[in-house]
Amino acid sequence: MAAPEGGYVAQSHAQTYTTQPFFLGNVMATANKVVLAYSGGLDTSVIVRWLQESYQCEVVTFTADIGQGEEVEPARAKAQALGVEEIYIEDLREPFVRDFVFPMFRANTVYEGEYLLGTSIARPLIAQRLVEIANETGADAIAHGATGKGNDQVRFELGAYALKPGIQVIAPWREWDLNSREALMAYCEQHNIPVDFAKAQKKSPYSMDANLLHISYEGDVLEDPWIPPEEDMWRWTVSPEAAPDEPEELTLTFERGDVVAIDGETLSAAQVLAKLNERGGANGIGRADIVENRYVGMKSRGCYETPGGSILLRAHRAIESITLDREVAHLKDELMPRYAKLIYNGYWWSPERHALQAAIDQTQSVVNGEVRVSLYKGNVTVTGRRSQDSLFDENIATFEADGGAYDQADAEGFIKLNALRLRIAATKGRQHQ
């Protein structure tokens, strides 16, 4: 079989796969034009043809560069080979970090104590652009390649419905019977879909998702939570054991809670995260092996590399430690788990997330200054912090003579008032209740 232009060739597969039409009640769902979140890979290439044939609709493809580290322009030729006429390929790295990652890190957001939400935070932006492109092109539906087992289907669709309540969402993995890579490749052969089969068959055994904040790995041996990940799985970070034997120092400059410069060099939001990824990865920082609770009900194991985010989180907490009022800082810590759950579960566009964001952002007006961190063999250590908005008063905190700045005798009354309820309970014999 001759290879078409671009070198893609379909190979023969024995089994025939069919798809079933999707019905809403007793009425078959219809769509005239569908905007598809398209990567150019095997799954979404199959989805293009499946939509064209199952729904008899026009397909618009949308491919976003959010820092996944792969060229996105080849998706154009692949979409054109499938007969797609309206093709959107966009560099969204700056808005991704500026409008989604940075606001999330202002809250010091961590899900279940470990996960820095690298996949979760990318989905609201993709959902937003899918809806906007649907509006621009007159499409009446959007489609995505998320499976029916994961969280991403929820995140994409909650975002879409929040932004355009009447939009139709098509999720092929919940409709078709193509439930394996072999089935997908067979469908490609049967439906004349140009796919580089040699590359498809050599694909990593892991299910991976990457953007400028992180890269994730799931599946294969990781489905047994007892089996350790293989060293050659990791792509962004060296192992801590192989990291340099000398620490590396960085100074991060914050304005209103966001990093705006590294070592005195002013950088854009995306440039900040890219540089932190590079320096953190070289020092073995940001690896995590987690079992998390998915919103759809199951436990799932994932491994993550988030080098830049790990540095950013530690540094942001350090600058807040000297600039935020104690009760404001504690309130933020109390709100953070709820905020993290909202993002993880797909509620970025919800009114409660917007309300929390407004409160969080209000606290950041004084989060200005510099933090110095030391990167060494997988560890991020804060070695200094300073700010014109600092609430740290050396005259009061000193262990030396403070010139009357703090009257230690005042502590006696403070302690007695706070002990009053404890003393009353003890007189009633309740000290052990």
The encoded tokens of residue 236 equal 């962004």
Q: Which residues are catalytic?
A: 43, 123, 152, 207
3-state secondary structure 203-239: CCCCEEEECCCCEEEECHHHHCCCCCCCHHHCCCCCC
Contacts 24+ apart (CB under 8 A), 94-99: 94/268, 94/269, 94/270, 95/125, 96/66, 96/67, 96/122, 96/125, 96/211, 96/212, 96/270, 97/67, 97/212, 97/213, 97/269, 97/270, 97/272, 97/273, 98/268, 98/269, 98/270, 99/125
Sign for the pseudo-dihedral over CA of 349, 352, 357, 362? positive
Give 243-248 contacts, CB < 8 A, sequence gap 24+: 243/282, 243/283, 243/284, 243/376, 243/377, 243/378, 244/282, 244/283, 244/377, 246/376, 247/283, 247/374, 247/375, 247/376, 247/381, 248/279, 248/282, 248/283, 248/374, 248/375, 248/376
61 pairs with which residues across the strands?
A: 36, 87
* Six token digits for residue 22: 């999707």
Which amino acid appears at position 265 of this protein?
E
DSSP structural state of residue 97: I
